[in-house]
Amino acid sequence: MYKLKRQDKRSSARTGLLKTAHGTVATPAFVAVATRATVKALEPQALTKIGVQIVIANSYHLHLRPGEETIAALGGLHRFSGWEGPTMTDSGGFQVFSLGAGKEHGVGKVASIFPDEEPRPPTKREKQGKSLVKLSEEGAYFRSIINGSEHFFSPEGVIELERKLGADIIFVLDECTSPLHDYTYTKGAMERTHRWAKRAFNAFEQPVDEEAYPNRDQILYGIVQGGAYEDLRRESATVIGGMDFGGFAIGGSLGRSKEEMHQVLDWTIPLLPEEKARHLLGIGEIEDIFAAVRRGIDTFDCAAPTRIARNGTVFFKDAPRHRINLRNSRFRDDPQPIDETCNCFTCCHHSRAYLRHLCLAGEFSFYRLATIHNLHFLVRLMQDIRAAIESDAFDELEAEWCAPA
């Protein structure tokens, strides 16, 4: 459960402790994406060395493969993967979007920035122009991206699925709408999401045979929807925030631009109970992190830092968008580490020239080394952000990192 440590005086930024059955997370914190029970290119033990506090796996993907029964039989996600720290599972609600309207509309949660999911070849159905998702009041019918098989996700079924996976923090099934959905659609979807939230909450409250599940101390988060429409977001924050969830997530759509995303947070967060944690789904650019923390976000996840790493893009403070691409020929003979001030494994051991070589050669070892740096960079940034909040210097830290608006 969440414990507030310090509330910034000049903004809604705050530090706190998020206690879970597998440890306590100092917030604000970045949640590393481990979709299929592994952060891509990293073994779980490396996360501990990097200082990653918490990861998020995906219920839809793990349901398809290897299946929640297999994971439960092996003792739940923690024992299955070897990651013993705090863990979240997303509910499949994001896939309602990413395999459905997001695909159809060709957009991410924030329409103007890159897609949130890994690129993958289209399935047979997608080639025929058919969606992989069908929604009803009951729940979501999904087609598997692996073999086309049909899977039904209901709010209650997802609670059962997440119980079997055994993460510490689990999310209710929601409908993540597209930034290009209109007001009427978004309102209808939000209202259904609210009905689903109540069903999930009730299912979660039902007594169960705890022995049958790997984790007895799960925390259920509600998800606020409502697109980029002010009245809908306020309504959703009031309805979802009024329920006794263990914490709250702000779901997408987050609008057509970063400015709209900031508005969504401004409308939503003040209506959520102060004593509960707030998670922002799918955000990871440095400036977005500051914007989200400033508005009172405690945790956020994003696949981008690990995905861009595999493409050669690594975080570096003093560069445009805080990133450099190691494929650039100017690094060919560069004996320096990515960042001289960084003490990650990669920066301690390898030069830009060597990393560039591995990247251009497509060596798997590159993916791991670049991922280590990017995660370490975010871990350190979040430490700095927490320290700044604790010492009333968040504004100054943000000014140091972000160009003036």
Task: List residues with catalytic annotation.
Answer: 90, 301
Query: Taking CB under 8 A as the rule, does residue 332 contact a second copy?
Result: yes
Smallest gap from residue 67 Cβ to a second copy (A): 9
Residue 262: Cβ within 10 Å count:
17
Interacting residue with a second copy among 238, 259, 349, 387 (CB under 8 A)? 349
Residue recorded with tokens 């930034």 = 179
Which of 219, 324 has the CB closer to a second copy?
324
Give the three-state DSSP class for 346: helix
Query: Taking CB under 8 A as the rule, does residue 39 contact a second copy?
Result: yes
Interacting residue with a second copy among 37, 232, 347, 381 (CB under 8 A)? 37
DSSP-derived secondary structure for 82-122: S--S-EEEE-SHHHHIIIIIHHHHT--SSTTS--SS---PP
Smallest gap from residue 387 Cβ to a second copy (A): 30
Tokens of 67: 């299946």
Give the three-state DSSP class for 203: helix
Q: How many residues bind a second copy (CB under 8 A)?
A: 40
Interacting residue with a second copy among 256, 317, 322, 357 (CB under 8 A)? 357
Interacting residue with a second copy among 21, 135, 243, 360 (CB under 8 A)? 360
Smallest gap from residue 279 Cβ to a second copy (A): 25
Smallest gap from residue 43 Cβ to a second copy (A): 5
Which of 4, 74 has the CB closer to a second copy?
74
Write the binding mask 49 to 68 for a second copy: x where contact by CB under 8 A, - elsewhere: ----------------xx--
**C-alpha count within 13 angstroms, C-beta hemisphere, residue 35:** 18
Question: How many angstroms separate the CA atoms of 301 and 29, rounded?
Answer: 9
Query: Taking CB under 8 A as the rule, does residue 368 contact a second copy?
Result: yes
Which of 281, 358 has the CB closer to a second copy?
358
Query: Taking CB under 8 A as the rule, does residue 136 contact a second copy?
Result: no
* Sites for a second copy among residues 75-134 (CB under 8 A): 75, 80-82
Smallest gap from residue 366 Cβ to a second copy (A): 8
Query: Taking CB under 8 A as the rule, does residue 327 contact a second copy?
Result: no
Smallest gap from residue 71 Cβ to a second copy (A): 9
DSSP run (H or E) holding 29: strand 29-33
Question: How many angstroms separate the CA atoms of 99 and 153, rounded?
Answer: 14
Which of 34, 240 has the CB closer to a second copy?
34
Query: Taking CB under 8 A as the rule, does residue 74 contact a second copy?
Result: yes
* Beta-strand relationship, 219-224 and 169-171: parallel
Say if residues 314 and 374 touch (Cβ distance below 8 Å): yes
* C-alpha dist (Å) from residue 308 to 89, 240, 314, 324: 22, 34, 7, 10
* C-alpha dist (Å) from residue 142 to 94, 103, 149: 12, 14, 8
The region of 102-110, 348-356, 387-395, 397-405 touching a second copy under the rule CB under 8 A is: 348-356
Interacting residue with a second copy among 18, 41, 309, 344 (CB under 8 A)? 41
Smallest gap from residue 184 Cβ to a second copy (A): 39
What's the CA angle centered on 55, arms 135 and 138, to 5 degrees?
Answer: 15
DSSP designation for 179: T
Which of 130, 349 has the CB closer to a second copy?
349
Question: How many angstroms separate the CA atoms of 287 and 403, rounded?
Answer: 9
Question: How many angstroms separate the CA atoms of 395 and 362, rounded?
Answer: 41
What's the CA angle centered on 316, arms 325 and 393, to 5 degrees?
Answer: 155
Query: Taking CB under 8 A as the rule, does residue 311 contact a second copy?
Result: no
* Sites for a second copy among residues 142-181 (CB under 8 A): none
Question: Which residues, at least 6 apart from 104, have a Cβ–Cβ distance to it below 8 Å?
Answer: 131, 178
The residues of the shown chain that bind a second copy, judged by CB under 8 A, are 36-45, 65-66, 70, 73-75, 80-82, 310, 332-333, 335, 345, 349-351, 353-354, 356-358, 360-361, 363-365, 367-369
